[in-house]
Amino acid sequence: MFTEAALSDQLQANAHDPLRILVVGAGIGGTTAAQLLRARGLHPVLIDRVTSFDDAGYMLALMPMVDAAIDALDVRDAYVSASTPMDRYRLLNHRGAQIREDSVRELLRDYGDYRGISRGALLDVLTTTGAPVTLATTVRSLNDGEASAHVRFDTSDGAAEATFDAVIIADGIHSRTRRFTPGGVKPNETLTGWGGWVVWTDPDDDTDLGEELWGNGFFVGSYPVAGAIGAFIGGPRDDTTVGPQAFVDSIRARLSSRTSRLDNILDAVKTADEPFYWVLDDVRTKRWSSGRTVLLGDAAAGFLPTAGIGAGMAMESAWVLCGTLADATSGDVAAALTAYEAAQRPRVETAQANSRQLAMLMFRRSTLLAHARNSAMRMMTIKAALGPIEKLLQKPARVPEVTAAAD
């Protein structure tokens, strides 16, 4: 579990490491990276701008590309216990009728499991052995030099500063720290114009089923996690300004049939106390690495939640990054980060492109287009929809070789 630590204590532990590393952001990517480095005997400094981890967040679906990180951290049993298999996928049309149901298990049988887990539960799994973190802390400035990166911090106890051999920026899609890197100044953003609410319901009998309704101006998705079902209900942001109850009423008025789960989810939205509102945007930065700094996870490439792949790619990227840095010296850091970006960026952007393509199908307002989509989806299997991602699973990520810097 996370353990709150003073920044000074983390800096003291980090000072004598052969590679002094700062990780900015204790989300999925940053926490995975910090824990992998700790498993190798290092003491990376981990900070986050939040003041607590009380918010459980949202639900995640993790594909087998997370397995390398899970196994490297030796948390397989904790991961399996905290998650649940998602073996089936059901698609409903804009009126609530079933279009098709596919076996995710069959698609992934040669690669591993597709598992549902809440964000909070996954962070607990990743920090099973303990994870020092300094909260309410941000980077005020980052100066990347040839010999080290000099960082100034704003903390709840005042200003602080330190030098590092490498800085991993993993503070999310709305990163405040990537502005200090050449690649993060003006990221390209895909703005869907959609958003919606995350709610939780009790589990039903279909504990292995993910269900989505692709509407005409609305979307409802539900995904099993251990002991619960997480759901997202959304639409064009202008339409959701009426609030969750009125928006759900508008959905019900357009449905001619409903599954029992769909009914439960719509009821849950109306009774939820200030449900979390999720804005559906994504980000693609032009450059990940520069000198001693590197972007990771959503700070580098933030995903739309349309292919169940964003968190998995962040964990895979953290595993590749930490493997690339494993045997690096301070003089090798820039070469290691360049090699990491060259190896991993094409994989991440392939998955992100697949996610964007699915978003173009899912987030539609037109009823005419919805009818055409329904006809097309009767013929398109989940294997076809996730074809680019299956190709990534067929050829797993690798840790690239790094040419050591000349003396």
Q: Where are the alpha helices (DSSP H) in 213-294?
A: 237-240, 244-254, 260-271
Amino acid of residue 185: V
pLDDT band at 18 (very low <50, low <70, confident <90, very high): very high
pLDDT the model gives residue 55: 66
Distance CA 383, CA 132 (A): 41
> For 112, how many CA atoms within 13 A lie in the half-sphere containing its CB?
18
Q: Is residue 273 part of a domain?
A: no
Q: Is residue 261 part of a domain?
A: no
Does position 402 have pLDDT exceeding 60, yes or no?
A: yes
For 158-201, the pLDDT digits (tens) are: 999 999 999 999 999 999 999 999 878 778 888 889 999 999 99
For 210-239, the pLDDT digits (tens) are: 999 999 999 999 999 999 999 999 999 999
For 91-135, the pLDDT digits (tens) are: 999 999 999 999 999 999 999 999 999 999 999 999 999 999 999
pLDDT band at 306 (very low <50, low <70, confident <90, very high): confident
Does position 50 have pLDDT exceeding 90, yes or no?
A: yes
pLDDT band at 33 (very low <50, low <70, confident <90, very high): very high
- Per DSSP bridges, beta strands 166-169 and 293-295 are parallel
Is the Cβ–Cβ distance between 177 and 24 less than 8 Å?
A: yes
pLDDT the model gives residue 405: 57
Which residues, at least 6 apart from 249, have a Cβ–Cβ distance to it below 8 Å?
A: none
CA distances from 226 to 81, 121, 322 (A): 8, 9, 29
Range of the domain at 103: 2-189+281-394
Is the Cβ–Cβ distance between 384 and 100 less than 8 Å?
A: no
Q: Is residue 272 part of a domain?
A: no
Q: Which CATH number fits the domain that encloses residue 126?
A: 3.50.50.60
Is the Cβ–Cβ distance between 68 and 78 less than 8 Å?
A: no
- Per DSSP bridges, beta strands 228-236 and 188-201 are antiparallel
Higher pLDDT among residues 292 and 145, named by residue: 292
Q: Is residue 231 part of a domain?
A: no
Which residues, at least 6 apart from 11, have a Cβ–Cβ distance to it below 8 Å?
A: 45, 160, 162
Specify the DSSP element, H or E, that contains 236: strand 228-236
Amino acid of residue 132: P
pLDDT the model gives residue 188: 82
Ranges 51-65, 241-255, 376-390, most confident? 241-255
Ranges 106-110, 291-295, 364-368, most confident? 291-295
Tell me which residue has tokens 């989806």.
377
Q: Is residue 210 part of a domain?
A: no
For 331-340, the pLDDT digits (tens) are: 999 999 999 9
Distance CA 221, CA 29 (A): 24
Mean pLDDT value across residues 248-253: 96
Q: Is residue 243 part of a domain?
A: no
Q: Is residue 320 part of a domain?
A: yes
Which residues, at least 6 apart from 374, have a Cβ–Cβ distance to it below 8 Å?
A: 93, 94, 99
pLDDT the model gives residue 185: 75
Mean pLDDT value across residues 1-28: 96
Does position 407 have pLDDT exceeding 50, yes or no?
A: no
The structural domain count of the chain equals 1
Q: Is residue 266 part of a domain?
A: no
Does position 202 have pLDDT exceeding 60, yes or no?
A: yes
